[in-house]
Structure 1
């Protein structure tokens, strides 16, 4: 059984659950977002469970494995949950009903906020887990934390986009261009894809807020990721040489991507291309 229940902190945590279980082969993985006050979490994502007993379960900070992970901000593991002496046992019934024995919890942290979610893994037999499993869990939690930090930053900017002065609009465009450059150079393909996803949300929202989309933009038009990267750099006033340096591309390669983007957008020059891309919701 897999899926979401209750309130969700966002897709990065759901992906972390599936990613971690696929990498390690643990019997069960689940996770829950923490309340804004950081005093509890609600289990909202499940993978590999055989019942719904954990769905929507509220775990208070300091209690059980997950609650202890919130307060210590460190991974917590037990070889056999019900017999463990280092945790409280408010959730024994749920754990035994699901049929898991060994359980660990890893906090998902975002800089400037703290613990925003907890990622769990469990086996249906007693085990101290191997270092490889715990390392994979910590990696999945870090990846989710990075994705949540990016999503939070973008959402904050989107929330402020309705009445932006010119300098602030430029800051958003610069941030958008920088995020795309990071995505293009990311060695973690999943993180790169996530960065591009949030950049797309930012561009579409900016277009809707400005009314550009209603002004005759070509909806459904698609550019390749690199065409978008180049055009985002051009949109903040950078020359071809500066674009090449920012993206780690050759100058001729930049020109080729720009020509291709202009052709798709029906533009005769770089300024027209940027305007058309904004109207199509491809750039903020």
Structure 2
């Protein structure tokens, strides 16, 4: 089993940052924090969504200490009802947490190939129980990040320069496909379709895998963003059972055993950007 500390992926920060913004939007927490695992297995708190007092920025959290360090030892999410007095963590960072007026917190690890690569946090400025909505949101974001990282590495398509370019292109592709279905102007719809085709590359699909229907491509495009079946169904305005049916068809046509493998195969065959 590989337990060596990873070298931070420069594209990972962009992915985590996007995840933090989604986490705040979905859960309504005032502060979401992201930290990448460093080579010495410490965490560096330098990704934020929400206002901070500035004290927490750049803090290094050692393995086993505080909430994030404890999460790294457990390799699972952990909630503390009041960070400053919780018996489940060490209190090396209490001065920082107190200065930020943070109390209730939950943290979840992002694990790839059984190795944690990042930790994401949701923080409340009061002693308030973490609800199921926040727990589901942070767990979902952690899993989505894991899927994105695995898919990008497997396809050899990591962003260069850490600017999140590939993630933005993939998101734009999915949004353009959705727009094509909603416009009434046939000429405009055709123009948008040409743009989406250009995002696939100069030659377009290779034809080496089974042809996907338009709706199957829509489902796969959203799966490439790490969307769950429920979120895909909501985005496309279709039922969950129907979404699962489309996903099953995609896996069969591409010869994939899971959605991550399907995304990798689709990108190699220029069915996705």
Length-normalised TM-score, structure 1: 0.56
The equivalent of 2:35 in structure 1 is 32
Distance 2:66 2:122 in 1: 14
The equivalent of 1:118 in structure 2 is 119
8 Å Cα contact 1:103/1:121 also seen in 2:
yes
State the secondary structure of the residue aligned to 1:140. Answer: helix
8 Å Cα contact 2:11/2:159 also seen in 1:
no
The CA deviation string for residues 116-174 of structure 1, in whole angstroms up to 9 with x for no partner, is 10000111100221111111110011111211222333447899xxxxxxxxxxxxxxx
* Cα deviation, residue 23, structure 1: 0.7
Q: Choose between structure 1 and 2: higher helix proportion.
A: 1
Distance 1:247 1:227 in 2: 19
Distance 1:113 1:34 in 2: 13
* Cα deviation, residue 90, structure 1: 0.7
* Cα deviation, residue 91, structure 1: 0.6
8 Å Cα contact 1:61/1:67 also seen in 2:
yes
Distance 2:50 2:59 in 1: 16
The CA deviation string for residues 177-219 of structure 1, in whole angstroms up to 9 with x for no partner, is xxxxxxxxxxxxx89935969xxxxxxxxxxxxxxxxxxxxxx
Unaligned 5+ segments in structure 1 are: 1-6, 160-189, 198-221, 250-282
Distance 1:158 1:120 in 2: 24
Unaligned 5+ segments in structure 2 are: 1-9, 161-166, 175-192, 218-271
The equivalent of 2:26 in structure 1 is 23
8 Å Cα contact 1:29/1:46 also seen in 2:
yes
8 Å Cα contact 1:147/1:194 also seen in 2:
no
1:142 aligns with 2:114: no
8 Å Cα contact 1:150/1:195 also seen in 2:
no
Distance 1:248 1:98, change over 3 A: closer
The equivalent of 1:193 in structure 2 is 170
Distance 2:78 2:208 in 1: 49
Distance 1:194 1:41 in 2: 28
The CA deviation string for residues 14-36 of structure 1, in whole angstroms up to 9 with x for no partner, is 01111001111111111111124
Q: Find the structure with the greater CA-based Rg.
A: 1
* Cα deviation, residue 53, structure 1: 1.2
8 Å Cα contact 2:34/2:45 also seen in 1:
yes
CA RMSD of aligned residues (A): 3.6
Length-normalised TM-score, structure 2: 0.58
Number of aligned positions between the proteins: 187
Distance 1:243 1:102, change over 3 A: same
Distance 1:152 1:88, change over 3 A: same
8 Å Cα contact 1:59/1:67 also seen in 2:
yes
* Cα deviation, residue 246, structure 1: 10
The equivalent of 1:224 in structure 2 is 195
1:68 aligns with 2:62: no
Distance 2:172 2:114 in 1: 20
